[in-house]
Structure 1
Amino acid sequence: MKGINAALMCDFYKIVHRDMINRKMTKSMSYYTPRMSRVKRWDKVVMFGLQMFCKTWLIDYFNDNFFAVPEEEIVADYKRVLDNSFGKGIYNTSSIVELHRLGYLPLEIIALPEGTLVPVHVPMFGITNTHPDFAWLPQALESLISAEMWYPQITATVGKTYRDIVNKYYDLTCDDNISRAKALGSFDFRGDQGLDAALKAAAGWCMSFENTATVPAIPYLEKMFGADCEKESVAYGAVSTEHFVMCSNYAVDGDEETFLRKMLRELYPNTSFSAVLDSYDYWNVIDNILPKLHDDIMAHNGCMLMRGDSGDCVEVVTKTVFKLWEQFGGTVNSKGYKVLDPHVKAIYGDSITVQRCEMIYEILMKNGFACSNVALGVGSFSMHCIEEDDDITVTTADGQQIKGRATILKPFTRDTFSSCIKACYAEIDGKEYPIFKNPKEGGFKKSQKGLCYVYRDENGELAYKDGYVGSNIPDGNLLETVFKDGRIVREFTLSDIRNRLNNNAF
């Protein structure tokens, strides 16, 4: 399928900005920065998704849907769309023609390494032109960059948040050799906003974990980060039933025991699997059917995970662990916590918000159980929003103000971190100009001024200084070239990013 003309991948007003800037401008620099956080638990953002953007859009898409298309087709399509939707005579095509004839995107992107945890206010990357005729180009790409960048950074930050929770409770309750990277899995595909969002969500998640239900995430990660699932750990799925399977077998067998025994003996005698058990009566299966399957479960060369899918997920999964201990027993690990017999485990496949994850682990720990006794799934809800307790003030009909606390649902958007691209530097007629915005009532909307120098302070935290121009910016800037003139010049591998994000302890 032929893609949309790449020259049209912008907001309408970007079309004419190239005619509005000073014609003697030969260079501009814009920075992408998370300006603030609307989520209290987050004051840092994972730098992630830029390499995906460069490969997908700046290389593949522009090559296929701009440079490889004949000039006359690009111009004719450009004029057809804009004449009939924007207006004739208010724009020109010369800049598009010049870019097409150049044959590549004359851009340089300087960035922090992917997988870096970046404090708000610190610029993550900058974009500048490498050819003096295209100072308009960095800001012309603002809409596309912004639309493509904010979501993978959110999902990578979500994954990192869950990984921090896992690390905390596994360090307390689990033997050190138990994998943290397989503690949770993502189950968000069906609830994401299309395939593209699902791939971004899975990619961000897989920087902190190996388990995902999103199959196309594997080839996507391979393409974007040079991974190879035949040679390294990319991501993993698991055998699991669904209600269609359980209900259709029940319709024939008249019970649930028959099919579960078939799973253990015939279908997957040497493979771990999870079985959803709440199609009718979850606790009846746990209390009455599992004892009948006891010998088959113990003879099974794998682990059977008992999955609830309704009710209070915190109660269901923790209570399941307690009941499995009563039926199957287990051992006590080196840290003094109970570990279920390896033939059984509890799983809950979605609804696990960060708060519920913490609650589940806390209950298990307080009752003397290792947190590795459960496998937890994170669904699309957690990829699109977060719940936080916050102070609120409600004004009643008679004007009284009542203060209290409430759980607030905070959806994820570009404005979660107010991530934006702002032009901060220009060279015009041979002179260097720091440029900036500083709205009188804008607050966090104030931009950097001039070129930015990113460094680590005395505490090892990322910080920046602005106000520089091309002739005086110091050496050693942590923003380093990753893309230049249509090519990736510094590529990060999957293991690079995972290790950086997880302090070499992925």
Structure 2
Amino acid sequence: MRQNLILNTDSYKLGQYLQYPAGTRAISTVATTRGQSFRPELMFFGLQMFLKEYLSQPIVMADIKEAADIAGVHGQPFDSEGWQRIVDVHGGYLPLRIEAIPEGAALRRGVPMMQVVNTDPNLPWLTSHMETALLRAIWYPSTVATTAWRIRLALQPFLDRTTDDPAALQPSRISDYGCRSTTSLEQAAIGGAAHLVHFNSSDSLPAILHARRHYGIDMPGYSIPSAEHASITAWGQAGETDAYSNMIERFSGFSAYSVVSDSYDLHTAVTEIWGKSLQAKVREAGGVLVVRPDSGDPIDTPVQVVAQLAYAFGTRLNGKGFKVIDGNVRVLQSDGVSLQDIQMILGRLESMGFSAENISFGMGSGLLHKINRGTVSFTMRATAMQDAGGQWKGIGRRAPHAQEKLTIQGRVAAIADGIDIVSIPLTELGGRQNLLQPVWENGQLLVDWTMDEIRARATEASRAA
């Protein structure tokens, strides 16, 4: 469905064209996060999706008419002449220059990640008009990417200590099960794409499609055949063993298959059905059986299931001396787990001598939905204006008290400082490389990051963290 880009904003933005001083030629805004931190703690991602999905569509006359009609009834003024100029002079494409940090980069709080300025001196209000949509376009995917990054960093020590090949295992440890946890298809797609920066396991087809469409990757994530309660309980309690046996017969030819095992009694399913009745069949069939406990205590239950399966199938020791379940059997815990739950589970398993490779996790709401703009305190502010003489001057509110750091003023640049990124006034850049590089100008995409490039930056940031 086509969206009217003029109306993709707050109502009050429609009157901004009447509010700037006479002779104003340009307004420059910066997107950043509030506060300070001594190390990188957030990851920038997602702007490219918005540029391709929304800014690549030109404004047309029908958009102007609809916006003018709505503004008139809604109680707001409307710059019909200005929007008409965008259609007549610029072919409907917004005369904006957008500079951004490379996606997948890790940043400290307070470091600008995006800078936006109008390129038509007749339309200085346009920068502010687009603030709402642009801020929303980056805060959500960046916050999901940050959440996934924090989970990745928390998992890494367990993988390093207890597995033989941590780098190979890491991308599959967290699966996106949040397609149904979001408020809309678009949220599932955008948030799910952000999760794919760090992990390649996903059950969200909207996320897979979004990443393919916008980040030049053929297949960003993988899934395995999985049972759900409906397909198990349809056999009845007396047919539970037959239901599991059917899963083996149908899906053992795949690399792995997942079977929810708590429809009736999880303990009986694990120890009696999987551990005894179907053990030989599981071993002979090939493929990895992933047993999924979907209820019970989110920490104790998966630990117990790992121990029960280890007792039934036996274990081997990996190169680091930790136990790995035999018979290609693993566990997946996905029932409302949090980062703290995951750390507790892996810690208990490690203390019992089990490798972290025995278990993986699925996350939904905790990954994609239990966040907001304040989670990492995203904000976007006007920092500079260009006057009638072409001179830039910094603008911004005065700090309300002496202890508060002054807000950014003036045009800015971002430079590398060792493994970190810091911001400086653009006037002080000199010959240094500005990491706030133009990615969009007047309807043209200037940089097209691939998911492989973004993942490489995210991996580098993870090693440095």
Structure-2-length-normalised TM-score: 0.93
Q: Distance in 2 between matches of 1:501 and 1:260?
A: 39
Percent identity, please.
26
How far residue 446 of structure 1 moved from its aligned partner, in angstroms, is 4.5
RMSD, aligned α-carbons? 2.1
Deviations 1:17-71 (A, max 9, x none): 111112311122110001138xx999621110111111111113xx2xx2xx3x3
Pair 1:463 & 2:398 matched:
no
Matches within 5 A, 1:475-490: 475=431, 476-490=433-447
Q: Distance in 1 between matches of 2:312 and 2:400?
A: 67
How far residue 192 of structure 1 moved from its aligned partner, in angstroms, is 0.8
How far residue 383 of structure 1 moved from its aligned partner, in angstroms, is 2.5
Pair 1:345 & 2:330 matched:
yes
Amino acid at match of 1:382: L
Secondary structure in structure 1 of the residue aligned to 2:10: coil
Q: Distance in 2 between matches of 1:48 and 1:311?
A: 35
Deviations 1:341-367 (A, max 9, x none): 142111112322110111111111111
Q: Distance in 1 between matches of 2:279 and 2:218?
A: 40
Match of 1:8 in 2: 7
Of 328, 352, 360 in structure 1, the residue corresponding to residue 313 of structure 2 is: 328
Match of 2:200 in 1: 210
444-453 vs 367-376, which deviates more? Answer: 444-453
Contact 2:189–2:210, Cα closer than 8 Å, also in 1: yes
How many residues in Structure 1 have an aligned counterpart in Structure 2?
456
Pair 1:450 & 2:410 matched:
yes
Matches within 5 A, 1:295-444: 295-385=280-370, 412-430=371-389, 431-441=391-401
Matches within 5 A, 1:60-459: 60=57, 63=58, 66=59, 69=60, 71=61, 73-87=62-76, 90-101=77-88, 102-103=90-91, 104-176=93-165, 178-229=168-219, 234-250=220-236, 254-264=238-248, 266-271=249-254, 272-290=256-274, 291-385=276-370, 412-430=371-389, 431-441=391-401, 446-457=406-417, 459=418
Secondary structure in structure 1 of the residue aligned to 2:145: helix
How far residue 325 of structure 1 moved from its aligned partner, in angstroms, is 1.2
Contact 1:162–1:354, Cα closer than 8 Å, also in 2: yes
Q: Distance in 1 between matches of 2:188 and 2:207?
A: 8
Q: Distance in 2 between matches of 1:306 and 1:268?
A: 14
Contact 1:453–1:474, Cα closer than 8 Å, also in 2: no
From the two aligned structures, give the one with the greater strand fraction. Answer: 1
Match of 2:48 in 1: 51
Amino acid at match of 1:270: G
Q: Distance in 1 between matches of 2:172 and 2:239?
A: 33
Unaligned 5+ runs, structure 2: none
How far residue 7 of structure 1 moved from its aligned partner, in angstroms, is 1.5
How far residue 499 of structure 1 moved from its aligned partner, in angstroms, is 0.8
Q: Distance in 2 between matches of 1:348 and 1:41?
A: 34
Contact 2:192–2:368, Cα closer than 8 Å, also in 1: no
Q: Distance in 2 between matches of 1:211 and 1:269?
A: 19
How far residue 175 of structure 1 moved from its aligned partner, in angstroms, is 0.4
Structure-1-length-normalised TM-score: 0.86
How far residue 148 of structure 1 moved from its aligned partner, in angstroms, is 2.2
Amino acid at match of 1:228: D
Contact 2:105–2:461, Cα closer than 8 Å, also in 1: no
Contact 1:155–1:200, Cα closer than 8 Å, also in 2: no
Contact 2:38–2:108, Cα closer than 8 Å, also in 1: no
Amino acid at match of 2:250: L
Deviations 1:355-411 (A, max 9, x none): 0111111111111110010121112133233xxxxxxxxxxxxxxxxxxxxxxxxxx
Unaligned 5+ runs, structure 1: 386-411
How far residue 262 of structure 1 moved from its aligned partner, in angstroms, is 2.1
How far residue 418 of structure 1 moved from its aligned partner, in angstroms, is 2.2
User: For residues 503 and 42 of structure 1, do their structure 2 counterparts lie closer, same or farther at Cα, with a shift above 3 Å needed?
Assistant: closer
Contact 1:189–1:380, Cα closer than 8 Å, also in 2: no
Q: Distance in 1 between matches of 2:356 and 2:63?
A: 58
483-492 vs 443-452, which deviates more? Answer: 443-452
Deviations 1:254-298 (A, max 9, x none): 23111212222x312322211111111100111222211111111
How far residue 327 of structure 1 moved from its aligned partner, in angstroms, is 0.9
How far residue 183 of structure 1 moved from its aligned partner, in angstroms, is 1.4
How far residue 330 of structure 1 moved from its aligned partner, in angstroms, is 2.3
Q: Distance in 1 between matches of 2:135 and 2:94?
A: 18
Q: Distance in 1 between matches of 2:424 and 2:65?
A: 45
Q: Distance in 2 between matches of 1:77 and 1:25?
A: 28
How far residue 10 of structure 1 moved from its aligned partner, in angstroms, is 1.5
Amino acid at match of 1:194: S
Secondary structure in structure 2 of the residue aligned to 1:288: helix
Match of 1:390 in 2: none
Amino acid at match of 2:252: P
How far residue 334 of structure 1 moved from its aligned partner, in angstroms, is 0.8
Q: Distance in 1 between matches of 2:154 and 2:38?
A: 12
340-349 vs 296-305, which deviates more? Answer: 340-349
Contact 1:199–1:217, Cα closer than 8 Å, also in 2: yes
User: For residues 306 and 75 of structure 1, do their structure 2 counterparts lie closer, same or farther at Cα, with a shift above 3 Å needed?
Assistant: closer
Deviations 1:145-178 (A, max 9, x none): 1222211011101111111122221111000264
How far residue 198 of structure 1 moved from its aligned partner, in angstroms, is 0.6
370-379 vs 254-263, which deviates more? Answer: 254-263
Pair 1:36 & 2:35 matched:
yes
Contact 1:12–1:86, Cα closer than 8 Å, also in 2: no
Contact 1:438–1:445, Cα closer than 8 Å, also in 2: no
Q: Distance in 2 between matches of 1:184 and 1:119?
A: 25
165-174 vs 118-127, which deviates more? Answer: 165-174
Contact 1:451–1:473, Cα closer than 8 Å, also in 2: no
How far residue 240 of structure 1 moved from its aligned partner, in angstroms, is 0.7
How far residue 505 of structure 1 moved from its aligned partner, in angstroms, is 8.4
